[in-house]
């Protein structure tokens, strides 16, 4: 019984770690594009469009 409990705990920790990693990556990408938007997109429509498309893509990917 104790072995099964320990195995379940290890699996739960692995799941939480994997889920956390899967969330951090798109959030880091979105954060980078938001920073770029704040710096350069006001005067450059190409950067604005690229950033919006990337943010949209990352959020859509996270919803799958």
Task: For the chain, give the percent of residues with pLDDT over 90.
Answer: 23
Alpha-carbon distance 7 to 16, whole Å? 14
- Outline where 1-64 has alpha helix (H): 2-36, 45-63
Given a cut of 80, is residue 17 above it in pLDDT? yes
**pLDDT at site 9:** 92
pTM value is: 0.62
Given a cut of 70, is residue 62 above it in pLDDT? no
For the chain, the straight-line distance linking the first and the last C-alpha, in angstroms and rounded, comes to 36
Which tokens is 37 given? 């938007």
- Contact at 8 Å (CB) between 63 and 30? no
Residue with tokens 């350069």: 40
| DSSP for residue 41 | I
| Digit-coded pLDDT (tens) for 25-57 | 888 888 888 888 888 888 889 988 988 998 888
């Amino acid at each position: 019984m104790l072995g099964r409990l320990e195995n379940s705990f290890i699996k739960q920790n692995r799941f939480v770690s994997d889920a956390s990693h899967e969330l951090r990556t798109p959030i880091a990408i979105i954060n980078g594009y938001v920073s770029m938007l704040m710096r350069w997109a006001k005067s450059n429509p190409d950067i604005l469009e690229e950033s919006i498309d990337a943010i949209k893509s990352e959020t859509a990917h996270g919803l799958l």
